[in-house]
């Protein structure tokens, strides 16, 4: 499960060769490229009314217009830009925070570990959305608030995941060997532990992008985003607010909604395939199936200790 194993040449060939990954990469690549080039390819100013109200898709407005007469295609492109960089930042920050907490716990052990685990579990059990709503309501709306609030509320599961991974790695021989030759504990954490957590961290990061996109959209849908900024979530907010549903203007919510769902789906596809290649048990299972062996084979699960 080391980084070199996951991204070794053979694994890379498998990764690129599998259909789900190709589909995922193509969808994701198209969405990212379209958003990145919004300034060049968007046909209209996304904030101006450039057509009639709730016009269905046509040649002049490929994705139709909103209840305020704005071009949905242009909004989708610019919205992608604003949505994706915020989501990406949140994913980076939550992954870092989770790593710091987990490795600190694994390094110090003892009461520091107990305390950090307790804090993690409290954050895990408090439901996300209401807390985020209260936090966001007290802070000025905008992308920075969004990033801050979702980082504070989004790291806990990663900390638990990374900690249990670090603890199981600590039992391996190469850590014992490093301790025996007298390496410092910080060196063991940074040089021995961290690189070996690569695939778990990568998978978690991808999941966090999905979390960030949907959580951000949820908040904006509730009206807690920055009203002046165009994002996929705010497009859905305006669609709901201008009663697009009961006026039959399906394109105003299907376009941003599908954009969110497709981004999340493509990331999930990539993640699943990486998991399969990084996890020899799942891979062996597929080979067995191909060989025509139907008997359920032993799939050992990683036990997760349920603790307080």
Where on the chain is the footprint of another protein (CB under 8 A)? 20, 118, 121-122, 124-131, 133-135, 137-140, 210, 214, 217-218, 221-224, 236, 239-240, 245-246, 248, 250, 253-254, 257, 260-262, 264-265, 268-269, 272, 289, 294, 296-301, 306-308
Pair 266, 31: CB distance under 8 Å: yes
Phi first, then psi: give them for residue 70, nearest 5 degrees: -85, 155
How near is the Cβ of 191 to another protein at its closest, in Å?
33
Task: Report the C-alpha gap between 38 and 302 in whole angstroms.
Answer: 44
Which residue, 158 or 193, has its beta carbon nearer to another protein?
158
Task: Report the C-alpha gap between 105 and 189 in whole angstroms.
Answer: 11
Which residue, 236 or 274, has its beta carbon nearer to another protein?
236
What secondary structure letter does DSSP report for 155? Answer: S
The per-residue DSSP string of 214-228 comes to HHHHHHHHTT-S-TT
Which residue, 181 or 291, has its beta carbon nearer to another protein?
291
* Selection from 92, 153, 91, 151 nearest residue 119 by Cα: 153
Which residue, 107 or 250, has its beta carbon nearer to another protein?
250
How near is the Cβ of 142 to another protein at its closest, in Å?
12
* Selection from 269, 150, 266 nearest residue 215 by Cα: 150
What lies within 8 Å, CB to CB, of 137 at 6+ separation is 224
Helix (H, G, I), strand (E, B) or coil at 71: strand
Pair 169, 175: CB distance under 8 Å: yes
How near is the Cβ of 83 to another protein at its closest, in Å?
12
How near is the Cβ of 277 to another protein at its closest, in Å?
16
Task: Report the C-alpha gap between 67 and 46 in whole angstroms.
Answer: 13
Which residue, 42 or 244, has its beta carbon nearer to another protein?
244
Which residue, 40 or 304, has its beta carbon nearer to another protein?
304
How near is the Cβ of 48 to another protein at its closest, in Å?
25
Which residue, 105 or 178, has its beta carbon nearer to another protein?
105
Q: How far is CA 174 from the centre of its chain?
A: 32
């Amino acid at each position: 499960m080391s980084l070199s194993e996951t991204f070794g040449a053979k694994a890379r060939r498998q990764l690129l060769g599998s259909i789900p990954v190709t589909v995922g990469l193509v969808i994701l690549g198209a969405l990212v490229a379209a958003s990145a080039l919004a300034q060049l390819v968007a046909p209209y100013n996304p904030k101006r009314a450039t057509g009639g109200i709730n016009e269905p898709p046509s040649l002049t407005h490929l994705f139709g217009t909103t209840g305020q007469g704005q071009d949905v295609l242009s909004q989708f492109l610019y919205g992608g830009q604003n949505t994706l960089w915020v989501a990406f930042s949140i994913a980076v920050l939550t992954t870092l925070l989770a790593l710091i907490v987990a490795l600190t716990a694994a390094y110090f052990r003892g009461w520091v570990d107990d305390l950090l685990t307790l804090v993690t579990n409290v954050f895990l059990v408090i439901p996300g959305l209401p807390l985020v709503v209260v936090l966001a309501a007290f802070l000025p709306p905008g992308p920075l608030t969004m990033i801050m609030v979702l980082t504070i509320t989004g790291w806990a599961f990663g900390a638990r995941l990374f900690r249990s991974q670090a603890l199981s790695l600590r039992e391996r021989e190469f850590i014992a060997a490093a301790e025996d030759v007298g390496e410092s504990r910080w060196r063991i954490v940074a040089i021995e532990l961290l690189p070996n957590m690569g695939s778990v961290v990568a998978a978690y990061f991808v999941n966090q992008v999905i979390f960030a996109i949907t959580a951000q959209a949820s908040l904006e849908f509730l009206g807690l985003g920055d009203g002046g900024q165009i994002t996929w979530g705010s497009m859905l907010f305006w669609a709901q607010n201008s009663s697009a549903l009961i006026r039959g203007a399906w394109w105003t919510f299907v376009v941003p909604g599908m954009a969110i769902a497709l981004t999340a789906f493509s990331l999930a596809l990539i993640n699943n395939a990486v998991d399969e290649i990084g996890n020899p048990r799942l891979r062996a299972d597929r080979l067995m199936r191909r060989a025509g062996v139907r008997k359920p084979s032993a799939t050992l699960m990683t036990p997760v200790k349920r603790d307080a």
